[in-house]
Amino acid sequence: MEHSEKAIEIIDLRLSYGVKEVIHGLTFDIYRHEIFGIIGPAQSGKTSLLRCLNRTIDFESSATVSGTIRVDGSDIRRTKDIYALRRKIGMVAPLPVGLPLSIYDNVAFAPRSSGLTKKADLDSIVERCLKQAALWEEVKDRLHTLGTALSGGQQQRLTIARALSHQPRILCLDEFSIAIDPVTTMRIEDVLKELRKEITIILVTNLTQQARRLADRTMFLWNGDCVELDSTEIIFSDRPANSKTYEYVNGIFG
């Protein structure tokens, strides 16, 4: 799949917690409408990298970030409207985080917070997002029941629907399938393949085969360094550029 227009540009990104540097001068681009996979062992900096992208890293008092991150050409470290940035970059956590609200209100929460009050508009957004998250058919007759009463897999899809209600341009998924069954995981993977027609997706996963199934390009991150970044086909081939990549994706270490 060919890409040319950059959604994100990262130049010499460094992140430290106190005196310990955990991301070491990363430079790479992410293109529009691609699924960009990030793989690597635990403690490699994958989640921290995502948190730099939507500036939730700002909540860490010990964190120091340097370098440049541009989203749609604008340096996010200079932006004054952090909330607008976080609406642009949706985030789905490893475990479903449902608000103690109805299914409907979970999805409508962000649009309402942005000032949307017309019921017909909210109804349309809720239906669209639940359909995009492959949840609509399962919940359309019980939208006003508690979202937290859904199964784990349904709650994770509700989390995706809620993230989509912001109408993000970029969706970051951090180990989205860690707590859900394989059948639900495959359903969400099918959703992501459809969503990439509309948005850019960044997929952090410890499941190397998930990256192989979904990602257009994959970055192997290890101890805060980019070991290799290439098309997923090459990363998972018999001859990636770096032998450590071959060893990791084939389960020899990690």
- Residue 254: exposure state from Cβ atoms within 10 A (0-12, 13-18, ≥19): middle
- In the chain, the number of structural domains is 1
Burial code of 126-161, b = ≥16 C-beta within 10 A, e = fewer?
A: bbbbbebbbbbeebeeebeeebbebeebbbbbbbbb
What pLDDT does 184 receive?
A: 85
Which of 28, 87, 92, 83 is CA-nearest to residue 58?
83
Could you tell me the pLDDT band of residue 93, with boundaries at 50, 70 and 90?
confident
Please check whether residue 113 lies inside any domain of the structure.
yes
Above pLDDT 90, what percent of the chain? 77
- Residue 230: exposure state from Cβ atoms within 10 A (0-12, 13-18, ≥19): middle
Contact by Cβ (8 Å): 28, 10: yes
**What CATH number is associated with residue 26?**
3.40.50.300
The pLDDT tens digits for 145-195 are 999 999 988 998 999 999 999 899 999 999 988 878 888 889 889 989 999
What pLDDT does 253 receive?
A: 78
What pLDDT does 114 receive?
A: 86
Contact by Cβ (8 Å): 254, 248: yes
Please check whether residue 204 lies inside any domain of the structure.
yes
Query: Worst-scoring range by mean pLDDT, 7-21, 61-75, 172-186?
Result: 172-186
Above pLDDT 70, what percent of the chain? 98
Residue 177: give the domain boundaries: 6-249
> Does the structure show a pLDDT above 80 at 211?
yes
Which of 125, 124, 123, 153 is CA-nearest to residue 138?
153
For residues 78 and 35, which has the higher predicted lDDT (pLDDT)?
A: 35
What pLDDT does 2 receive?
A: 53
Please check whether residue 51 lies inside any domain of the structure.
yes
Please check whether residue 184 lies inside any domain of the structure.
yes
Q: What average pLDDT does range 242-253 have in this prediction?
A: 92
What pLDDT does 248 receive?
A: 95
Q: Which residues contact 205 (CB under 8 A, 6 or more apart)?
A: 37, 38, 39, 173, 175, 176, 177, 211
Could you tell me the pLDDT band of residue 3, with boundaries at 50, 70 and 90?
low
127 token code pair? 């239906």
What pLDDT does 200 receive?
A: 97
What pLDDT does 96 receive?
A: 75
Contact by Cβ (8 Å): 174, 50: yes
> Does the structure show a pLDDT above 80 at 238?
yes
If one counts every other C-beta atom within 10 angstroms of the C-beta of residue 83, the result is 10
What pLDDT does 26 receive?
A: 98
What pLDDT does 106 receive?
A: 95
Please check whether residue 254 lies inside any domain of the structure.
no
Please check whether residue 46 lies inside any domain of the structure.
yes
Which of 133, 129, 96 is CA-nearest to residue 110?
129
Please check whether residue 60 lies inside any domain of the structure.
yes
Rounded Cα–Cα distance for residues 48 and 208 (Å):
19
Please check whether residue 151 lies inside any domain of the structure.
yes
Q: What average pLDDT does range 126-139 have in this prediction?
A: 94
Q: Which residues contact 113 (CB under 8 A, 6 or more apart)?
A: none
